[in-house]
A and B are shown apart, each in its own frame.
Chain A
Amino acid sequence: MRNRHLLAITAAGALSVVALAWSACAQAPGPTDARDINPPVANCNVISDTTEDPSDQTKRVATPIDQKLLTSGQPCHQEVRGTGLVSDVLGNLQRGFDFYSWLTFIALNSPADGKTIGQGERPGGDAMTRWEALGNYRPLADVMLDKGAKPTWGTRVVPDRCKPMDGPGKIILKLGEAAWNQPFKTGPLIDQNGNYALFDILMNKPMFDFIEQNGLYSKQGQERFDKDIIFPPGTRPGPQNNPQGKMGAVMVKVSWRILDPDKDKALIGKFHTADALIYFPGPPVPPGTKTGPACVEKTLGLIGFHVGHKTAASPQWVWSSFEHVSNAPDAKQVADKDLHPPYSFYNPACTQCSSNHTPPDPWDPPESLKFHSDDRSQVVRTKMLPDEVAAEVAELNRGFRALLKGTVWENYALLATQWPSKADSKTDCNGAPAPTFLANTTLETYSQGVVPLASSSCMACHGNATTQRVPATASDFTFILEKAQCENGICGPPRAAKEPAQRKCGFTVTP
């Protein structure tokens, strides 16, 4: 028993070394101050969606979607232009951002050990991804710690209840309310097997370092921080004091469904999976759970993948949304009876089921993570993209999914990328998001649509995020700071904060 435990620790340590080694390789710091929270990155991906037509320099042709893209690295910044394959400036920019999103998806979902995406050891070439490795990304629950404690980069926080089940390669998912309840507390998502879908948020090191070095990991720390919250942006490699480019702050939000290793054996090769320890912190609620403390082990399948990346030209961040192709049909497919079951969140046989409705109370998950009634989510993807954008994304998806054929990753598709079309606007602090609406069927199930404010828009929603200061101040498009707890568990009266220096928008944008 003792030997097995030691082996596990050794293996975990080796994995950490590998993960850290990859991190060093992927984001090799240049000759900068060790405290530089946004260090230069050695291999920023600068491939754009089009290249100059060799036979006619006035035209551009599509960049081939080929093997070269699988190892081209993560973009530090979007490479987009108004000229391209169509006459419409907006359409060319949108395609550039969508191409950027696919490059980002490939880079982040490549194996943590440095292999090429789809060449992992598990079925479908699956492997622990780069964003799951602690050397690269850190879960929100390990940043906003109990009692506002200072987090440490790279350390793995294993709750006592989970320690007996822990082992190499396992991820730990702590069940705060945000791990099962959708934005604006609109309710949980229940799959066709009656299991809760689970959600997690992670951040990269520049984002972590900004929080850690400025003391924003506690409520009082936020009150002490008397400046505007401005996370570091990604920058493209350029000749002016920045030959390598910088990655900037990146947030990842993922959604999972529970897979049964036996009953769902046929499905496992179609999903990116993770062996997870689900931790129920127990009362008080919130931030804990009604049940617990407890820890249960589950195999999770990735169903949704969001990336938010702050870049110099997009201070409102760039928002990429992917999901598993078997989550749910879209409204047209339902109307046309063009269905391709099985779906994780739609039952074709249930013709009387109303779609996209929230499940009945109570919502808090029990330790089984099984919903208390027979109610199942009947999810239908609502049309919200302009036809031109939908067609362009579908074309890119065909190319990239073909490139990933034979791997688990061929089962994921981009929904679209939302980006600020007028980033320096003084009167629209969200920068005129394009497209206006964007929702993932697993992460914004109940707010799909095209009604301003009521329907999901990454930037319009995140533009409302604030710190916990009194009076509250904008938190630069992240709700992460809302999760900070009080130092030593003592909240006390709010410290009188200085008025924020800047409430107006009109961001400084670096082209």
Chain B
Amino acid sequence: MTDFTRRKMLGVAAGTMASVVGSAGLPETAAADDAADLALFVNVSAALTGIAGAKLAPTVDPIQIKHAYFQQAKSDPGFEPLMQIVRANSADPAAAADKIMNGPDPNIKFLGRSIILAWYLGVWYEPAVLAQPSPPVAVPPLKVISPAAYTQGWTWRVAQAHPMGYSELRFGYWSDEPLPLNDFVNA
């Protein structure tokens, strides 16, 4: 069972956010992505992250962050082999996730890890860097995928918090106890 304490999540987030913001983050268009592959990507992302697909990519979703993560993952050489697994297990995303994370191909495994980190942190870690047995620095090189990704990381929600410098809560909220976890992750 993953331990989502506020301190742990905030600590991880603080480390990852001290970096460079990535590409301009213009609104991505659905037309640019293959709709079927995108849907499969969301399904396997749900299995990888433990967050329901309807939460990762709601029906009414003005931000559409899934496109940014899909495009980022697509740029990795491991993407096509990963998607072959996903397509072959389209009816069972959990099985696909298991094969990705526990399979023999490190390119696929560490791309799976990068995808998990993208959804939680809004940040891209190169799979090849994650694959190194001993990272050369304490905080591996990373990029914030887009300005929108900075605010959309699930780490903030599971920490019952908000990104540094960006809050959608009401004026004065800081003097109150955080809302229940359920309000954040099931909202």
- In chain A, what residue has the closest Cβ to B157? A427
User: For residue B26, which residues in chain A have a CB less than 8 angstroms away from its CB?
Assistant: 383, 450
Q: Is A227 an interface residue, CB under 8 A from the partner?
A: no
Q: Is B59 an interface residue, CB under 8 A from the partner?
A: yes
B60 near A453 (CB under 8 angstroms)? Answer: no
B29 near A473 (CB under 8 angstroms)? Answer: no
User: For residue A429, which residues in chain B have a CB less than 8 angstroms away from its CB?
Assistant: 168-170
Q: How far is the CA of A504 from the CA of B179 in the complex (A)?
A: 9
Chain A contacts with B in 375-422, Cβ cutoff 8 A? 383-388, 421-422
Q: Tell which of A450, A463, A503 touches B168, judged by Cβ atoms closer than 8 Å.
A: A463
- In chain B, what residue has the closest Cβ to A466? B171
A426 near B62 (CB under 8 angstroms)? Answer: no
Q: Is A93 an interface residue, CB under 8 A from the partner?
A: yes
- In chain B, what residue has the closest Cβ to A475? B171
Q: Is A500 an interface residue, CB under 8 A from the partner?
A: yes
A387 near B29 (CB under 8 angstroms)? Answer: yes
**Additional A-B contacts beyond A82-B60, A474-B171, A500-B172 (8; CB < 8 A):** A421-B61, A427-B157, A427-B168, A427-B187, A436-B27, A452-B148, A464-B171, A503-B172
Q: Is A9 an interface residue, CB under 8 A from the partner?
A: no
With A387-B27, A450-B147, A451-B147 known as contacts, the answer to whether A93 contacts B168 (CB < 8 A) is no
Q: How far is the CA of A385 from the CA of B172 in the complex (A)?
A: 31
B147 near A452 (CB under 8 angstroms)? Answer: yes
User: For residue A187, which residues in chain B have a CB less than 8 angstroms away from its CB?
Assistant: none
Q: Is B24 an interface residue, CB under 8 A from the partner?
A: yes
Using a Cβ–Cβ cut-off of 8 Å, how many residues does chain B contribute to the interface with A? 33
A388 near B29 (CB under 8 angstroms)? Answer: yes
Q: Tally of A-B residue pairs with Cβ under 8 A?
A: 96
Q: Is B150 an interface residue, CB under 8 A from the partner?
A: yes
Interface of B is mostly: loop
Q: How far is the CA of A426 from the CA of B180 in the complex (A)?
A: 10
- In chain A, what residue has the closest Cβ to B160? A427
Q: How far is the CA of A503 from the CA of B176 in the complex (A)?
A: 8
Provide a sorted-by-A list of 5 A–B residue pairs whose CB atoms are within 8 angstroms. Answer: A387-B27, A427-B183, A428-B187, A450-B27, A450-B147
Q: Is B184 an interface residue, CB under 8 A from the partner?
A: yes
Q: How far is the CA of A436 from the CA of B150 in the complex (A)?
A: 14
With A387-B27, A436-B148, A452-B151 known as contacts, the answer to whether A430 contacts B168 (CB < 8 A) is yes
A434 near B62 (CB under 8 angstroms)? Answer: yes
Q: What are the interface flags for B123-166 relative to A under an 8 Å C-beta threshold, 1 for contact and 0 otherwise?
A: 00000000000000000000000011011000001000000011
A450 near B148 (CB under 8 angstroms)? Answer: yes
Q: Is A285 an interface residue, CB under 8 A from the partner?
A: no
Using a Cβ–Cβ cut-off of 8 Å, how many residues does chain A contribute to the interface with B? 40
Q: What are the interface flags for A75-111 relative to B under an 8 Å C-beta threshold, 1 for contact and 0 otherwise?
A: 0000000100000111001000000000000000000
A93 near B170 (CB under 8 angstroms)? Answer: no
Q: Is B36 an interface residue, CB under 8 A from the partner?
A: no
User: For residue B77, which residues in chain A have a CB less than 8 angstroms away from its CB?
Assistant: none
User: For residue B15, which residues in chain A have a CB less than 8 angstroms away from its CB?
Assistant: none
Distance of A301 from chain B, by nearest CB (Å): 32
User: For residue A434, which residues in chain B have a CB less than 8 angstroms away from its CB?
Assistant: 60, 62
Chain A contacts with B in 452-511, Cβ cutoff 8 A? 452-453, 460, 463-464, 466, 471-474, 500, 503-505
Q: How far is the CA of A450 from the CA of B149 in the complex (A)?
A: 12
Q: Is A295 an interface residue, CB under 8 A from the partner?
A: no
Q: Is A151 an interface residue, CB under 8 A from the partner?
A: no
Q: What are the interface flags for A265-302 relative to B under an 8 Å C-beta threshold, 1 for contact and 0 otherwise?
A: 00000000000000000000000000000000000000
With A93-B60, A425-B187 known as contacts, the answer to whether A385 contacts B27 (CB < 8 A) is yes
Q: Tell which of B25, B62, B169, B171 touches A432, judged by Cβ atoms closer than 8 Å.
A: B62
Q: Is B30 an interface residue, CB under 8 A from the partner?
A: yes
A388 near B30 (CB under 8 angstroms)? Answer: yes
Q: How far is the CA of A388 from the CA of B29 in the complex (A)?
A: 7
Q: What are the interface flags for A58-85 relative to B under an 8 Å C-beta threshold, 1 for contact and 0 otherwise?
A: 0000000000000000000000001000
A450 near B171 (CB under 8 angstroms)? Answer: no
Q: How far is the CA of A450 from the CA of B151 in the complex (A)?
A: 12
Most-contacted residue by chain B among A90, A452, A466 (CB, 10 A): A452
- In chain B, what residue has the closest Cβ to A419? B62
A386 near B29 (CB under 8 angstroms)? Answer: yes
Q: How far is the CA of A342 from the CA of B65 in the complex (A)?
A: 38
Distance of B105 from chain A, by nearest CB (Å): 35
- In chain B, what residue has the closest Cβ to A464? B171
Q: How far is the CA of A503 from the CA of B25 in the complex (A)?
A: 32
User: For residue A500, which residues in chain B have a CB less than 8 angstroms away from its CB?
Assistant: 172
Q: Tell which of B63, B170, B175 touches A436, judged by Cβ atoms closer than 8 Å.
A: B63
- In chain A, what residue has the closest Cβ to B24? A450
With A89-B60, A386-B29, A450-B25 known as contacts, the answer to whether A427 contacts B170 (CB < 8 A) is no
User: For residue A386, which residues in chain B have a CB less than 8 angstroms away from its CB?
Assistant: 27-29, 64
In the A-B complex, the 4 residue pairs with the closest CB atoms: A434-B62, A386-B27, A428-B168, A426-B183
B171 near A421 (CB under 8 angstroms)? Answer: no
- In chain A, what residue has the closest Cβ to B149? A452
User: For residue B176, which residues in chain A have a CB less than 8 angstroms away from its CB?
Assistant: 503-504
Q: How far is the CA of A500 from the CA of B63 in the complex (A)?
A: 32
User: For residue B30, which residues in chain A have a CB less than 8 angstroms away from its CB?
Assistant: 88, 388
Q: Is A188 an interface residue, CB under 8 A from the partner?
A: no
Q: How far is the CA of A63 from the CA of B71 in the complex (A)?
A: 37
Q: Is A435 an interface residue, CB under 8 A from the partner?
A: yes
